[in-house]
Amino acid sequence: MSSKKPNRKSKIDIVTSTLTNRFKFFKKGIGDNHFLENLDKYIEELKFTKPIEINWQKESKILVGTKKKGTFISPFSWFLPEVARYGHVELILPKKETETICIHFAATGDQGFFKRRYAMAFPLATKGIASLILEIPYYGIRKPKEQFSLFLSTLSDFFKMSFGTVCEGLSLTDYCYKKNWKKIIVTGISMGGNIASFVGT
């Protein structure tokens, strides 16, 4: 004769599961089928980097040097939601002149400039390296109103975000090259590292 132990769920497990599973990615399904079906054609366009011009605001002095923000028309703007069609960047310059700049891409959920500014750009500035931080499509001020936080509404939104970020990354490296930066570095953590690997190759 065997006795089965009752299947008791921990209250902590229940609370944790409830809190973490309230919001989901792709709650509206696949999304833009036409875009996904033609993704291979759009990927071919990555071979041709599109030039951009950045409209810079007035710079401000900070502890490690100077900071200024800028905007540009995304080279991928025709497929992005209206709020995401302008790219937003933050430039951190060290106190001494430098020929090296690092372009930072966002990890999953890294919205705004704050984390990358203080965790990466400021320490690099103390070593004489400039930083260009990109606010990627569908995040922060480029997030559609119907999207909750980092939770992309559709699968096609994810591919548009990824493809758009790679396009913008390539254009930013081209911009830096034309502005006579001698050493251009691309970096990121998690999703940002994946984007950097595409841009860097």
CATH of 28-200, picked from 1.10.10.10, 3.90.1260.10, 3.40.50.1820, 3.40.50.150, is 3.40.50.1820
Q: What pLDDT shows up at residue 36?
A: 86
> Which among 187, 77, 192, 161 is positioned nearest to 151, based on CA atoms?
161
Q: What pLDDT shows up at residue 4?
A: 53
Q: What pLDDT shows up at residue 184?
A: 98
Model pTM score: 0.82
Element (H, E) at 131: strand 130-135
Q: What pLDDT shows up at residue 128?
A: 97
Q: What pLDDT shows up at residue 35?
A: 86
Burial of 93 (0-12, 13-18, 19+ CB in 10 A): buried
Q: What pLDDT shows up at residue 146?
A: 77
The half-sphere exposure of 12 on its side-chain side, counting CA atoms within 13 A, is: 0
Q: What pLDDT shows up at residue 196?
A: 97
| Sequential pLDDT tens for the chain (201 residues) | 555 555 556 666 556 555 555 556 657 778 788 888 988 888 887 777 899 999 999 899 999 999 999 999 999 898 899 999 999 999 999 999 999 999 999 998 888 999 999 999 999 999 999 999 999 999 999 998 877 566 787 888 889 989 999 999 999 999 999 999 999 999 999 999 999 999 998
DSSP 48-66: SPPP---EEPPPEEETTEE
Q: What pLDDT shows up at residue 40?
A: 86
Q: What pLDDT shows up at residue 82?
A: 94
User: For the chain, what are the domain ranges?
Assistant: 28-200
Helices 155-178 and 191-200: angle between axes, nearest 10 degrees: 50
Q: What pLDDT shows up at residue 148?
A: 58
Q: How far apart, in whole angstroms, are the C-alpha atoms of residue 53 and residue 147?
A: 28
